[in-house]
Amino acid sequence: MKTFGHFIAGKWVKSDSRKTFESTNPADPKEVLGKFQLGTEKDVQKAITAAENAFIKWREVPAPKRGELILKAAQLLKREKERLAKLMVKEMGKVLKEARGDVQEAIDIAEYMAGEGRRLFGHTTPSELRDKFAMTIRIPLGVCGLITPWNFPIAIPAWKIFPALICGNTVILKPSSDTPLMALEFMKILDKAGFPKGTVNCVTGSGSVAGKELIENKRVKAISFTGSKETGEFIAGNAGIKKIGLELGGKNPIIVMDDADLNLALEGVIWGAFGTTGQRCTAASRVIIHEKVKKQFEEMLVSKAKKLRLGSGLKESTDVGPLINEAAVKKSEYYCGIGVKEKAKLLIGGKRARMNGCFFEPTIFTDVKPGMRIAQEEIFGPVVSLISVKNINEAIKVANNIEYGLSSSIYTNNVRNAFLAMQKINAGITYVNSSTIGSEVHLPFGGTKGTGNGTREAGIEGINEFSETKTLYIDYSGKLQKAQIDEVKVD
């Protein structure tokens, strides 16, 4: 069995702990993919030192040149796409077509951010004084700590690494312990692309040790985190004075109105609820259905869900892969039990699948009340709740009756319904006649309320997350001018 190292200062090194942990295949937990370093505070501190040293020179590299290296990384990802996708299926469990999409998302964000190297726009504006020039520029933050989840083990690290690098920062990645292999494969790609030693580093291990050190260390100038709300709250309270980006999940609604194309809505709900086995922060875990079409849509949804095929994601015939680990299976079981106790009607599923691995049956509850726990709490499994409403206003009220505000969707052929949803749903993303899943890298991604702290990833907002605004004044009048004091006369 292969043992992998941390990637620090361009070298593969063992942990100070001399301890390792294993990563296994959720479709076949007996298959161990490798042993990985159990990182310590000292390991993280070494990575911080390496990143600090690299930052001195990296920030001085012209941004277009930084972009050239990112573009090279994109080309290498393209070359390795199929190999990485198949490896991702083994470590994370998602089906092959989705794994290919995960790698493609990393390619897309790399190409986009490489182009930002020739922009990194600031602003120019007139001064209130004569012979004075005013403008803003973007400057890097320094060492950035990136803490990423397992459900998009290439895409989400790429969403953070590439904008951080194009802005002139250096980075330390702390990936999920469920998908360390994918993170280290990504490091190999970046190393091969030619990034200077120490520019990109990766420390594997637990969040409570390695992640905590990244969060609390004062030499780390920014933290970007995707994961649970509880961990996000810890970061907000313990990171100190540094720039923080948080993306903390969702409980996303799809509204299906009585005028909707039900066949189109059906495809959107199936994809939103059961794509990636429900393990997306944008997964559609609530279907808010107009009472006039509730019964018909239930029958359509159950019929379609029964045909979904569970199995290894490497099989082209598989529709739904395994959950990430045994704890995720137990969590889905737990919430299904809660749903039954809350008197929601179980239409299909609700239990572990009778097969080897961490598989759970696609599950549909109906007659769900908006305040039930299965309609309020993030399950992160293939469990969807149907909630009946009488009209568009009630639908929007139910959609907003949640602590999260990431993604949302409405299926309707009524333009008024569509615009009311776009205007009044309190979420960072709203889709019309499409599912809650499927962001594009040149547009901002993030949410409101408990989903985060107001930051956005990707698009131009990704540049804002990993840079600071600096204001510049150039006075060429040859005398001391005092803003707000000197009177400028109009001759």
Q: What is the DSSP string of 42-64?
A: HHHHHHHHHHHHHHHHHTTS-HH
Give the integer Cα–Cα distance in Å for 420 and 443.
22
Amino acid at 360: F
- DSSP-derived letter for residue 196 is P
Q: Are 273 and 388 in contact (CB under 8 A)?
A: no
Query: Nearest Cα to 382, choosing from 433, 324, 449?
Result: 324
- Strand partners of residue 423: none
- Kindly give the pairing relationship between strand 132-140 and strand 467-475: antiparallel
DSSP 63-97: HHHHHHHHHHHHHHHHHTHHHHHHHHHHHH---HH
Domain residue ranges of the chain, discontinuous segments joined by +: 6-248+452-472, 252-432
pLDDT of residue 380: 97
Q: E-assigned strands of 355-459?
A: 363-366, 383-389, 404-405, 409-411, 431-432, 448-449
- Kindly give the pairing relationship between strand 252-256 and strand 284-290: parallel
Give the integer Cα–Cα distance in Å for 138 and 465.
11
Digitized pLDDT (tens) for each residue of the chain, 491 residues in all? 899 999 999 999 999 999 999 999 999 999 999 999 999 999 999 999 999 999 999 999 999 999 999 999 999 999 999 999 999 999 999 999 999 999 999 999 999 999 999 999 999 999 999 999 999 999 999 999 999 999 999 999 999 999 999 999 999 999 999 999 999 999 999 999 999 999 999 999 999 999 999 999 999 999 999 999 999 999 999 999 999 999 999 999 999 999 999 999 999 999 999 999 999 999 999 999 999 999 999 999 999 999 999 999 999 899 999 999 999 999 999 999 999 999 999 999 999 999 999 999 999 999 999 999 999 999 999 999 999 999 999 999 999 999 999 999 999 999 999 999 999 999 999 999 999 999 999 999 999 999 999 999 999 999 999 999 999 999 999 999 999 999 998 87
> Alpha helices, DSSP H only, in 312-426?
326-341, 392-400, 415-424
Query: Nearest Cα to 54, choosing from 221, 196, 218, 220?
Result: 196
- Strand partners of residue 385: 286, 365
Tokens of 39: 């990182």
Q: Are 171 and 161 in contact (CB under 8 A)?
A: yes
Give the integer Cα–Cα distance in Å for 326 and 109.
32
Q: Are 203 and 47 in contact (CB under 8 A)?
A: yes
CA–CA–CA angle 313, 287, 451 (5° rounding): 80
Query: Nearest Cα to 152, choosing from 123, 182, 174?
Result: 182
SS3 242: coil
Instruction: Name the catalytic one among 281, 298, 358, 361.
Output: 281
> How far is residue 213 from each of residues 33, 77, 207, 221, measured CA to CA in Å?
27, 30, 9, 13
Q: Which residue has the tokens 């709250």?
A: 233
Q: Are 159 and 462 in contact (CB under 8 A)?
A: yes
Any catalytic annotation for residue 281? yes
Provide the total of helices (H) and of strands (E) in the chain, helices listed first. 14, 21
Give the integer Cα–Cα distance in Å for 270 and 305.
7
CA–CA–CA angle 342, 345, 349 (5° rounding): 110
Contacts of 229 (CB under 8 A, 6+ apart): 248, 249, 378, 403, 404, 450
Q: Which residue has the tokens 């005092």?
A: 482
Q: Are 176 and 146 in contact (CB under 8 A)?
A: no
- Kindly give the pairing relationship between strand 20-25 and strand 11-13: unpaired
pLDDT of residue 432: 98
Give the integer Cα–Cα distance in Å for 113 and 460.
9
CA–CA–CA angle 204, 276, 466 (5° rounding): 50
Query: Nearest Cα to 243, choosing from 8, 462, 9?
Result: 462
Amino acid at 234: F
Residue 136: CB atoms within 10 Å = 14
Q: Which residues of 297-318 are buried (b: 16+ CB within 10 A; e: fewer)?
A: bbebbeebbeebebbbbeeeeb
- DSSP-derived letter for residue 211 is I
pLDDT of residue 81: 98
Query: Nearest Cα to 224, choosing from 40, 402, 458, 460?
Result: 458
Any catalytic annotation for residue 144? no
Give the integer Cα–Cα distance in Å for 146 and 225.
6
pLDDT of residue 1: 86
Residues in the chain, total: 491
| Superfamily of chain region 6-248+452-472 | Aldehyde Dehydrogenase; Chain A, domain 1 (3.40.605.10)
Query: What class has domain 252-432?
Result: alpha beta
Instruction: Name the catalytic one among 247, 298, 361, 378.
Output: 247
pLDDT of residue 491: 78
